[in-house]
Amino acid sequence: MPTVQDLARLLEAAAPLAYQESYDNAGLQCGDPQAEITGVLITLDCTPAVVAEALRRGCNVVVAHHPVIFRPLKRLIGANEVEQTIIAALKNDVAIYAAHTNLDNVRGGVNDKLAEKLGLTKTRVLAPQSGTLARLITYVPNRPEDQQADLADRVLAALYAAGAGQVGQYADCSFRTAGTGTFTPGVGTQPAIGTVNQPEIVPEVRLEVLLPLHRQAAVLRALRAAHPYEEVAYELIKLENVHTEVGAGLVGELPTALAPAAFRQLLKQQLLVPVVRHTAFEQDIKTVAICGGAGAFLIGAARAAGADAYVTGDVKYHEFFGAEGQLMLCDVGHFESEQFTSEVFQDLLTAGFGRTFAVLISETPTNPVQYDC
């Protein structure tokens, strides 16, 4: 039976913890990583009522979008809902796992699901992350007499399998140049080519691949395993490039342009929200930027991307001025913009574990915001 740790591995393959924002606390919140899963209950927020529902429905794991432990806890005495949730979970052997901004920042996550609900196509990341990519350079012998011509391909195949070589939607990307390597094996070495204390000149090929930094350890392990040299020469260079597939928000296109009022009607229908708080805007809406949750920090990016509308939650009074009349800024509510994240979790878990255990979406209402209209 799969364990809590297996579940963490599965979700982190889709939404690596390395992609969460610096203030976040995604990952396993409490519980035994080795515990076998009896069932999973999915929610946006984990509360004592959600833990009770999990027990009632035979689930010993709660998967949530928002981390229940967001700020460090100094004591666990049940003084507030966060402490009560953790205490109830620990007492009843329920594990709580959260995938938060890491799931916001990947394709196939929170924002792709929101884009799907609004019918957006041609989506791209609104604010791509930088500092998450590196370039690996290594040197492989290239001597025809050793029949090593395919050695470069074998090394590259190992690097690709470990997560290197992906550029946007293109896989197996590399660059190679032929050259000449020199070395003198020292005393105590067992060189694959050459003799101790004898200078060597070897035809080599220089291989270059991109990799996400969080795959660094796995890629270097694969390099050492596949490379014939005793001492593998390589360079790992951190890049300033943005990762076009990782980052906050998305921008995409509606199938047909809509009048502003019709677009707001679409939001109400698709996001099950009775009220949309929005800025005045007269032009038709075709290009739409989105960010599930509190996305006011991307208003400028949405304007710069040429969006006619920006849909997010938790916009404050002064932040509405940031629309500058250039787009219709729409606040649909934090919960409403993220509610379909449960479907993302359910799809990932069902695809990964099949019908090994039940994967249920919580029926406990957790949105603290009520509407009077």
- Binding residues for Zn ion, rule: CB under 5 A, are 293, 338
Mark 273-301 as b/e (b = at least 16 C-beta within 10 Å). beebebbebeeebbbbbbbbbbbbebbeb
Q: What is the nearest approach in angstroms of Zn ion to the Cβ of residue 43?
A: 12
Q: What is the nearest approach in angstroms of Zn ion to the Cβ of residue 344?
A: 13
Q: What is the nearest approach in angstroms of Zn ion to the Cβ of residue 66?
A: 6
Question: With the C-alpha atoms ordered 197, 200, 205, 208, is the resulting torsion angle positive or negative?
Answer: positive
DSSP character string of 259-320? -HHHHHHHHHHHHT-S--EE----S-EEEEEEEEEE-GGGHHHHHHTT-SEEEEE---HHHH
Nearer to Zn ion, 160 or 310 (CB): 310
What is the chain's percent helix, strand, coil content, to nearest 5? 30, 30, 40
Output the six-digit token pair for 103. Answer: 């799931």
Nearer to Zn ion, 159 or 248 (CB): 248
DSSP character string of 138-183? EEEE--GGGT-TTHHHHHHHHHHHTT---BTTB-S--EEEEEEEEE
Structural contact between residues 85 and 96, judged by C-beta atoms closer than 8 angstroms: yes
Q: What is the nearest approach in angstroms of Zn ion to the Cβ of residue 361?
A: 17
Nearer to Zn ion, 2 or 67 (CB): 67
CA distances from 203 to 144, 154, 156, 230, 351 (A): 9, 17, 18, 17, 46
Nearer to Zn ion, 109 or 128 (CB): 109
Residues 165 and 177: their CA atoms lie apart, in Å, by 16
Nearer to Zn ion, 28 or 98 (CB): 98
Q: What is the nearest approach in angstroms of Zn ion to the Cβ of residue 102?
A: 12
Nearer to Zn ion, 53 or 338 (CB): 338
Nearer to Zn ion, 23 or 170 (CB): 23
Q: What is the nearest approach in angstroms of Zn ion to the Cβ of residue 347?
A: 19
Residue nearest to Zn ion (CB): 293
Length of the chain: 373
Nearer to Zn ion, 204 or 338 (CB): 338
Q: What is the nearest approach in angstroms of Zn ion to the Cβ of residue 113?
A: 13
CA quadruple 234, 235, 236, 237: dihedral, nearest 10 = -160
Sequence-ordered alpha helix ranges (H) in 162-243: 216-226
Nearer to Zn ion, 83 or 338 (CB): 338
Q: What is the nearest approach in angstroms of Zn ion to the Cβ of residue 249?
A: 13
What is the residue type of 267?
A: L
Residue 203 DSSP class:
E
CA distances from 267 to 33, 79, 278 (A): 39, 38, 11
Nearer to Zn ion, 241 or 346 (CB): 346
Q: What is the nearest approach in angstroms of Zn ion to the Cβ of residue 189?
A: 55
Query: What's the number of CA atoms in the CB half-sphere (13 Å) around residue 198?
Result: 9
Q: What is the nearest approach in angstroms of Zn ion to the Cβ of residue 29?
A: 15
